[in-house]
Amino acid sequence: MGGDPVTRDPFAVLLAEYEDALTALTRLESAAEGLEADPASEPDRRAVRAILDVLRGAVRDHNEREERALFPLIVDQLPTGVFEEGHRALWTLEEELGRLLDGPGDDPRVASVAREIVDRLRRHIQRENEVLFPMAREALGPGGVQHLAASGRSPLAREQLIHYIAHAVAQPAADEWGDRGIVTVIMIMMNFRAQGRLGRLRGRPTRTRRE
């Protein structure tokens, strides 16, 4: 990834995040193969648990951001409902996988549910990347996406900012976000302020210097 998270093309952000998800799915698939050979394989169960954390964390956050920020902009022109249903089916499977991992250590259903998640999420990602995102970009207009990102009114960028702030405020300084999270928030806020965007986020003009 890389680039400015605020001004970067929102679709490039979504595509890059899904690349990370596909990498996680490759690992989940090989763990499922291991569990098909030996349902009690502890390293494979640990791998499934670690990837489930990614799915419930970063990937779910991605999908919820799509629903909050992107889908409302295009719902009149594109069939977003089927993608929302896809998210919910996936979340249900993730809950099931979590329950199974908390159960008996040799349950063969861990492998089968893991495989179902791999297949379902891969299809979902392919449909969004190859069909929904290009159509959404077109629906928003040739300059629309760039304008949204550049003006700071990109809902994805705004959601991202709110997400960072919520985490930095909610988490104690010693946790995984820690100082890095707070520095990130400050840098994003400075970026927004430097470009006169804070006022627009709040719905009023920003004063960039003392009068």
Residue 63 found at the interface with Fe ion (CB under 5 A): yes
Q: Which stretch binds Fe ion (CB under 5 A): 33-41, 65-73, 144-152, 159-167?
A: 65-73
Gap between the Cα atoms of 170 and 161, Å rounded: 14
Q: Which stretch binds Fe ion (CB under 5 A): 52-60, 63-71, 96-104, 139-147?
A: 63-71
Q: How many chain residues interact with Fe ion (CB under 5 A)?
A: 2
Give 8 or 124: the residue with its C-beta nearer to Fe ion.
124
Give 35 or 90: the residue with its C-beta nearer to Fe ion.
90
Gap between the Cα atoms of 99 and 102, Å rounded: 5
Identity of residue 69: A
CB-facing half-sphere around the CA of 3: CA atoms within 13 A:
12
Give 89 or 187: the residue with its C-beta nearer to Fe ion.
89
Quote the least distance from Cβ 108 to Fe ion, whole Å: 29
Give 41 or 63: the residue with its C-beta nearer to Fe ion.
63
Gap between the Cα atoms of 78 and 175, Å rounded: 40
Quote the least distance from Cβ 83 to Fe ion, whole Å: 5
Q: Which stretch binds Fe ion (CB under 5 A): 23-31, 62-70, 165-173, 189-197?
A: 62-70
Q: Give the containing element (helix H, strand E) for 123.
A: helix 109-127
User: What is the three-state SS of 160-202?
Assistant: HHHHHHHHHHHCCCCCCCHHHHHHHHHHHHHHHHHCCCHHHHH
Residues near Fe ion (CB under 5 A): 63, 66
